[in-house]
Structure 1
Amino acid sequence: MAGAALAGAAPAGAASWTPVAPGVTYRQYDVSAAAGVARVHVLDVDLADSRVRLGLLYPGKVASRAALSSMADAQRAVAGVNGDFFNVSETQHPGVPVTGASVGPAIAEGRELKSAVLNGQRFGPALPRGTSTRAVLGVGADGRARLDTLSLDGTVTAAPGQLKLAGLNQYALPENSVGAFTPDWGSASRKRATCGTDTSRGAPCSTRTYEVTVRDDRVVAVSTAPGSGGVAEGTTVLVGREAGAQQLKVLKVGDRVTVRYGLTSGSRTAYRFAIGGQPLLSGGQPLAGLDTRTSAVRTAVGIGDGGRRVFLLALDGGTAYRKGLTIAEVAAALRNLGATEGFGLDGGGSSTLVSRPTGSTRVDVRNHPSDGVERSVANGIGVFTP
């Protein structure tokens, strides 16, 4: 069952933790699970230590990917794990470029990078009942980690009236909506944002689209098709599909347009860092409906001690261990470590955990990625110390 302790699971206080940096330790251990023995790699992060913080690792643009180790070294993190599920393939849409953008919301250093796609457009295993792609793990100004939801609150105001924004730097927009793309998006094609439906990621791309480029609060260009290429500083590109496209068509070059947006949290917390994924544990109990049948290599985060302690967990993808754990078993492993809240991240070939060896300024990959090499991923969770 989901809440049962895994055979061979190691307690968080076991003596074999290895120091990585002040407030950060690492260990690995084996657990016996339904599919066989799995090897677990864990970072124990003490957020009660004022020298330690979590932050978003990402390549600098939402629609981009990079290896976790290279992002950690570039941002001078001492450790980390891979992050959110992301737009990894487009077999249903031949000719439509993969964006590499993540599913859920993302905040880096207080900067709101993106909002969440709808549940029907997500990549990854089925969400637990009652949860959505708006779920995040975040850290606010109080330095404590918590699970929350982040929703987009945005508008486009022009002389004809006001439109509601339904997307911010997303690889998929809801039907009949308008979304905004900023310089944080990158240079990837925006066409993918008009593909699929609210309930089917693989549905055809919309044939009714419109794009409006706004610079310094003025319309400077319009197009009947979503474009590509980087969005310049001071510029926002609005993309509409179906009814949203019709709403944008009233805007002409030279019109004054004001675009406003922000991410609002369910707890009204202002986050310095947030990343998307799927909730697994709440109040020390596994969420209803966690999968108990499919075993795989996985990455997850546990929160303990009222948000002052975080466990970053990634399974080993080596040949002897790659059957992995079910999602329910991952929840149990987090609880065995001392977590009361749990959060699932991307797994399979994406699962990676890195940390710096003693005396080094660069991280090493601690687990064996199941692809044999590191996969380029959309983002990750970084651990930072002075």
Structure 2
Amino acid sequence: MLTVLTALGVLAGAALAGAAPAAAVPAGGRGERIAAGVVYREFDITAAAGRTRAHLLTVDLGDPHVRVDLLHPRAVAARATVSRLADSAGAVAGVNGDFFDITETQHPGVEATGASVGPAVAGGRVLKAAVPTGQRFGPPLPPGATTRDVLGVGADRRARLDRLSLTGSVTTPHGRLRLGGLDQYALPQNSVGAFTSRWGAASRERAVCGTDTDRAAPCSTETYEVAVRRGRVVGAAGTPGRGPIPAGTTVLVGRERGARELRGLTVGDAVTVTHRLVAARARVPYAFAVGGYPVLRHGRPLAGLDDRASAVRTVAGLRGGGRQLLLLALDGADDSRTGMTIAEEAAAMRGLGASDAFNLDGGGSSEMVTRARGARGVTVRNHPSGGAERPVPNGIGVFSR
């Protein structure tokens, strides 16, 4: 049983396997109005490992003054602190987002890219696709979850859990190739991936390391890349390169069979690259989407959630048919960093009235910021467990006119 202590009462979360109805935060609970449609609260949660402080944002997506969007640096393969991302975007609040490629100790000499694991959509524009599930950086996924899972808000202003899969092609004089990746730090075996100016200056070498089932596997020895500008091949190289990609240029990186297919191209050949992300459920386009994985669906925790490892966590919940978004970050201060298990996290979100919940990156990445009225910058509400803000590749920003 999970217990949530609020300022004006006790909120009991239903047991994971029980049938007790989920409780809601008491209507009279003390909260701070950050902006129109955005309320902040903090309270204590007592879980199996002890008591931890929780920070909660309730975002009313039905309020026409409110919207959420992806916080991100100018490049996919780049990182910045949540406070810097929120300040630069003018957000009134925000939390950290997806897991990311933070270290490459398995591949000596290969730089970590800092790029996120899952798909990303900002302002209705696709930024990137998901790496293969076996190439994911982070704790094991629950059964049935994949790197394509997203939390998104559609053009209808409703939040939902979904999956976004890449579909695309590379048309050459020799035929059409399936596109296997878009601005992502790992490509499927035997594939061709596209890198655009949105990727940034980071090396593309990491994209050909690991396998579809083992991120620690050696880097491929059979690689090739070509640069395409204005529909024509303008250059080629035997190994993935690095450095900024000019606007209007697409770099195609191939590994194994994909490399052999690209070697058939010569400078001047006509090449057309197409790509888009296809939703598994939504019938409306996404204005915003971020990667992670689901822990609660239709009021029921997913089977197989970890119930042993307690950690500082960040989680998003959906309430009121997706009209309300709950953003919760735990505190990493020494006296309150006991955290929760993933199973307890799901129970806590159900106890807060969420029908669905989505786990984001945690540990030293967990962070929540808010902006006081009239303030020029945001304030970090929780204590990052690393003692300082960790640069991250993206986050969820809350905006209010």
| 1-structure distance, mates of 2:325, 2:344 | 18
Aligned match of 2:344: 329
Aligned-partner residue type, residue 111 of structure 1? R
- The yes-or-no answer on 1:123 pairing with 2:120 is no
Shift of 1:357: 1.9
Instruction: Describe the SS at the equivalent of 2:83.
Output: helix
| 1-structure distance, mates of 2:3, 2:194 | 45
Shift of 1:5: 4.2
Aligned match of 1:347: 362
* CA offset digits 1:313-347 (Å, max 9, x no partner): 10000001112000011111111111101000000
Aligned match of 1:55: 69
Aligned-partner residue type, residue 202 of structure 1? A
Of 177, 199, 205, 2:213 maps to 199
Aligned match of 1:365: 380
* CA offset digits 1:131-188 (Å, max 9, x no partner): 2110001111110100000000010001100000010001000111110001110000
- The yes-or-no answer on 1:164 pairing with 2:178 is yes
Aligned-partner residue type, residue 234 of structure 2? V
| 2-structure distance, mates of 1:323, 1:40 | 11
Aligned match of 1:6: 3
Aligned-partner residue type, residue 373 of structure 2? T
Structure 2 unaligned blocks of 5 or more: 12-23
Of 288, 296, 306, 1:291 maps to 306
Instruction: Describe the SS at the equivalent of 1:231.
Output: coil
Which segment drifts farther, 161-170 or 267-276?
A: 267-276
Alignment coverage as a number of residue pairs: 383
| 2-structure distance, mates of 1:23, 1:241 | 48
| 1-structure distance, mates of 2:326, 2:350 | 10
- The yes-or-no answer on 1:301 pairing with 2:280 is no
- The yes-or-no answer on 1:100 pairing with 2:114 is yes
Instruction: Describe the SS at the equivalent of 1:167.
Output: strand
Of 29, 40, 55, 1:15 maps to 29
Shift of 1:109: 0.5
Aligned match of 1:314: 329
Shift of 1:359: 2.7
- The yes-or-no answer on 1:177 pairing with 2:188 is no
With normalisation by structure 1, the TM-score equals: 0.98
Structure 1 unaligned blocks of 5 or more: none
Shift of 1:7: 5.1
Shift of 1:14: 4.4
| 2-structure distance, mates of 1:47, 1:33 | 30
| 1-structure distance, mates of 2:256, 2:28 | 57
Instruction: Describe the SS at the equivalent of 1:317.
Output: coil
- The yes-or-no answer on 1:69 pairing with 2:83 is yes
Contact 2:4/2:44 (CA < 8 Å) preserved in 1? no
Of 268, 288, 305, 1:254 maps to 268
Pairing of 1:135-284 with structure 2 (within 5 A): 135-267=149-281, 268-284=283-299
Cα RMSD (Å): 1.0
| 2-structure distance, mates of 1:283, 1:306 | 10
Which segment drifts farther, 92-101 or 10-19?
A: 10-19
Contact 1:6/1:329 (CA < 8 Å) preserved in 2? no
Shift of 1:125: 1.7
- The yes-or-no answer on 1:81 pairing with 2:95 is yes
| 2-structure distance, mates of 1:219, 1:330 | 50
| 1-structure distance, mates of 2:2, 2:60 | 23
| 2-structure distance, mates of 1:359, 1:232 | 39
Identical counterparts, % of pairs: 60
| 1-structure distance, mates of 2:105, 2:134 | 16
> Which segments of structure 1 move beyond 4 Å, counting only runs of 4 or more?
none
| 1-structure distance, mates of 2:352, 2:280 | 27
Aligned CA distance change for structure 1 residues 194 and 14 (closer, same or farther; 3 Å): farther
With normalisation by structure 2, the TM-score equals: 0.94
Aligned match of 1:356: 371
| 1-structure distance, mates of 2:304, 2:374 | 44
Shift of 1:225: 0.3
Instruction: Describe the SS at the equivalent of 1:349.
Output: helix
